[in-house]
Structure 1
Amino acid sequence: MKKFFQHVDYSLLVSVFLLCGIGLVMIYSASIGVSITKYEYSPSHFFVRQLAFFFVGLIIFSFTMILPYQFYKRFMAPIVFASIAMLIAVFFFGKTVNNAKSWIMIGGFGLQPAEFVKLGLSIYLAGIFSKKQDKLDQFSTSVVPPLSIILIILLLIIKQPDFGTAMVVAAVAGIIIFCSGIQRKHLVLLIGASVGALVLFSFLFSGEQMSRFTAAYDPFSDPERDGYQLINAYVAMAAGGMTGSGLGESVQKYGFLPEPHTDFIIAIIGEELGFIGIAAVILLLAFIVIKGFYIGVIGKDTYGSLLAFGISGMIGVQSSVNLGAAVGLLPITGVPLPFISYGGSSLILFMASAGILINISAHVNFKLKQPAAAPAAKERQVKAL
């Protein structure tokens, strides 16, 4: 254990906790108006709940940071089938929130199974493609089976419907497949099929779903309805300027900007902490993502590298989707900002994922610092760590 902590990347550790700290502070500030409106005698309602989720996440983070990442590979099949089972359970025991049946209530707390599927699928894909490295040229036997699993998961999430999460899951799966080393012709085939499916699927969008594109790219055409949220996000960020109006001094959080503590918390950060606050959050997220990809590149274990790519890609893609929606570059999908937005499922997922990433990093750092050794000696060193 002592050797493990000697090789922990504390820059990653500090970045994760800085983001969680910023998230807790900003949730307290951003949710005051909503808390008073919904829970008259509890202005800190959402903060207290998020704090409870943080401590749960901290326990899971400590566990995943210490547990060797190779452990998950042994159980990749049960993990992915459990993920599918959770998605199916939503249709029987789930609760509908914001027109999506994607929540399961447990003791007054809501859990969103689709959030945890992101990590479960990453573990499965990293494991399956690392085992099939010598058969990647056999498309039907090495690539099609995991593609079938991905398709089942995507269809179950879309059925809820939760298009934002489906977008993130598809992107993360694509990153792992791209990094796995499959042949270029197969990669081109998959990209073409994905684009074709997306275009075909767009014709099935309902009027409400299409309105999200209008809200993103032409919000002022309907400022009182579809464009209302994005316009008020613009107002919040513009009011903050470079340095912000001051912590706790937001005006938009008092009934003007919907979901100020969840989907659009970055707008409140911009209003209160200014461009400097937004830049700090983006830089911390970017550091974790870049560091994660670097770990994947320098790692010698294919499974660890692919898992690092998957986790880093998950954080990067979800951050991009959330931030893109907040500034009108992407449709509003309800995807939370990692480590920052209110939401227990999201916070626990990303803390667990960060713990795994730090564990992979520690093993990579340990191997890099060791002198050349015989295979048997190397195996004993890894087991000792």
Structure 2
Amino acid sequence: MLQKIKDYDFTLIITPILLAAFGMVMIYSASMVLAVVEEHESSYYLVKQMQWFVLALGGFIVTSIIPYKMYQKLIKPIVLIIVFLLVGVLIFGNTFNNAQSWFVLGPISLQPAEIAKLGLIIYLASIYSKKQSYINEFYRGVLPPLVLTAIILGLIVLQPDIGTAAIIFLIACSIIFSSGIQFKHLMLLVLVGSLLVLLTVPSLITDERISRFAGAYQPFEDPGDDGYHLIQSYLAIGAGDLFGEGLGQSVQKLGYLLEPHTDFIMAIIAEELGFLGVVIVVGMLATIVLRGLVIAKKCTDSFGSLLAVGISAMVGTQALVNLGAISGMLPITGVPLPFVSYGGSSLLVMMTSMGMLNNIAKSVKKNDQDPVPVHKQKDSEKSDFTFEGGKTWVR
């Protein structure tokens, strides 16, 4: 029993839990005034996040125990669930911030697009791992999974949730790139994708999206409207200096900064805990991403390797999009900071994916500890060794 526990990757256990716990502290600090203004208890958002954390921790434990290869047998139901939820939310979903992206069932709010991220990762990892023997054949090995990917992206764009669609697109690109696709096929996909974007962009352009771009790249042109929230983010980040104003001492959360407990929680962290706090959070997120990529490299099973790449890409791209928005490098898209921002659907998916990644790490460690005896190796594996004059040489 003790040996089984040691097989787990404690970096991928401790780091996500610490980030989620830290996130709950910052959610309380950032949202207490907002909660009171909305006529709730000051701990309203904290309590809801804690409830989701318990559920997310359960998902983490379950997926860390379940052998990751089992998901390959569940591809069809996973795909059906994703499509059903994304179509359902367009018909029966609730609208927040001009996007029909949520199911609200009493006190529970669920965002299907978050579930679609992880589901699509499992699907693409499974399909491309099965196509490894003919991955160099574009129409047979590369193209078919992209049809479903395009459908899922289209359903999310229709909500519209451009930020999440962009993240899913980048995740899909990372898996495709890691699958062993030929460079010329990759360039062909980039060309086709660029043409599709050019064709669809005119229909996606609205006054609101134009204002988001203007607010991101020219915030001081209209500081009272389009650029207001980014300027408040700058003020929060600048006020924090090296060590911050102190936990709970943020001024920008007092009604100045939009969504201080979700989209802009890193700005509040910068204001209250300073540059040091930002570095710690970014460092922990980077640790998860890099650890996931190391596991992907060590995993000898193509499905496990691609699954690890997809999960790492999900955490990394979502963090970069969130940080890009608060710093003015990207338009504000409403993407939460992984593990830290308020949001039950995001926390549930992130912690569940960490359980999957831990199960892959467990498999890798077990394989490292239990090498295949030489007399049981296949002839192809033995071919790395030749014998000359009684000596063993490794080619």
Q: Name the TM-score class by shorter chain.
A: over 0.9
**Contact 1:212–1:331 under 8 Å retained in 2:** yes
Q: CA RMSD in A?
A: 1.5
1:383 equivalent in structure 2: none
Please give the alpha-carbon distance, in whole angstroms, between the structure 1 residues aligned to 2:348 and 2:374. Answer: 40
Please give the alpha-carbon distance, in whole angstroms, between the structure 2 residues aligned to 1:21 and 1:108. Answer: 22
1:302 equivalent in structure 2: 302
Residue 144 (structure 1) shift: 1.8
**Contact 1:154–1:170 under 8 Å retained in 2:** yes
Please give the alpha-carbon distance, in whole angstroms, between the structure 2 residues aligned to 1:9 and 1:364. Answer: 10
- Normalised by the length of structure 1, the TM-score is 0.95
Secondary structure class of the residue paired with 1:246: coil
1:32 equivalent in structure 2: 32
2:320 equivalent in structure 1: 320
Residue 142 (structure 1) shift: 2.2
1:81 equivalent in structure 2: 80
Secondary structure class of the residue paired with 1:31: helix
Q: Deviations over 1:301-349 (max 9, x none)?
A: 0000000000000000000000000100001100000000000000000
Q: Deviations over 1:54-85 (max 9, x none)?
A: 00101111001111111111111221221111
**Contact 1:245–1:271 under 8 Å retained in 2:** yes
Q: Deviations over 1:94-124 (max 9, x none)?
A: 0001100000012321100000100000000
Residue 295 (structure 1) shift: 0.6
Q: How does 1:51-130 map to 2 (within 5 A)?
A: 51-130=50-129
2:381 equivalent in structure 1: none
Q: CA 1:144–1:229 in 2, change beyond 3 Å: closer, same or farther?
A: same
Q: Which runs of 4+ in 1 moved over 2 A?
A: 1-4, 195-204, 371-378
Q: CA 1:376–1:335 in 2, change beyond 3 Å: closer, same or farther?
A: farther
1:276 pairs with 2:276? yes
**Contact 1:39–1:45 under 8 Å retained in 2:** no
2:267 equivalent in structure 1: 267
Please give the alpha-carbon distance, in whole angstroms, between the structure 1 residues aligned to 2:210 and 2:15. Answer: 37
Amino acid across the alignment from 1:303: F
Please give the alpha-carbon distance, in whole angstroms, between the structure 1 residues aligned to 2:225 and 2:366. Answer: 55
Please give the alpha-carbon distance, in whole angstroms, between the structure 2 residues aligned to 1:266 and 1:82. Answer: 33
Residue range with higher mean Cα deviation, 135-144 or 182-191: 135-144
Look at both structures and tell me which one has the larger radius of gyration over its CA atoms: 2
1:256 pairs with 2:256? yes
Residue range with higher mean Cα deviation, 329-338 or 78-87: 78-87
Residue 92 (structure 1) shift: 1.9
Residue 13 (structure 1) shift: 1.1
Amino acid across the alignment from 2:373: A
Amino acid across the alignment from 2:250: S
Q: CA 1:377–1:349 in 2, change beyond 3 Å: closer, same or farther?
A: farther
Q: Deviations over 1:221-275 (max 9, x none)?
A: 1111111111000001111100000000101101000100000000000000000
**Contact 1:216–1:331 under 8 Å retained in 2:** yes
2:146 equivalent in structure 1: 147
**Contact 1:179–1:306 under 8 Å retained in 2:** yes
Please give the alpha-carbon distance, in whole angstroms, between the structure 1 residues aligned to 2:371 and 2:342. Answer: 45
Please give the alpha-carbon distance, in whole angstroms, between the structure 1 residues aligned to 2:256 and 2:106. Answer: 32
Please give the alpha-carbon distance, in whole angstroms, between the structure 1 residues aligned to 2:35 and 2:284. Answer: 28
Residue 2 (structure 1) shift: 4.2
Q: How does 1:120-269 map to 2 (within 5 A)?
A: 120-204=119-203, 205-269=205-269
Task: Structure 1 unaligned segments of length 5 or more: list them.
Answer: 379-385
Amino acid across the alignment from 1:277: G
Residue 374 (structure 1) shift: 6.7
2:371 equivalent in structure 1: 371
Residue 184 (structure 1) shift: 1.5
Residue 195 (structure 1) shift: 2.3
**Contact 1:27–1:261 under 8 Å retained in 2:** yes
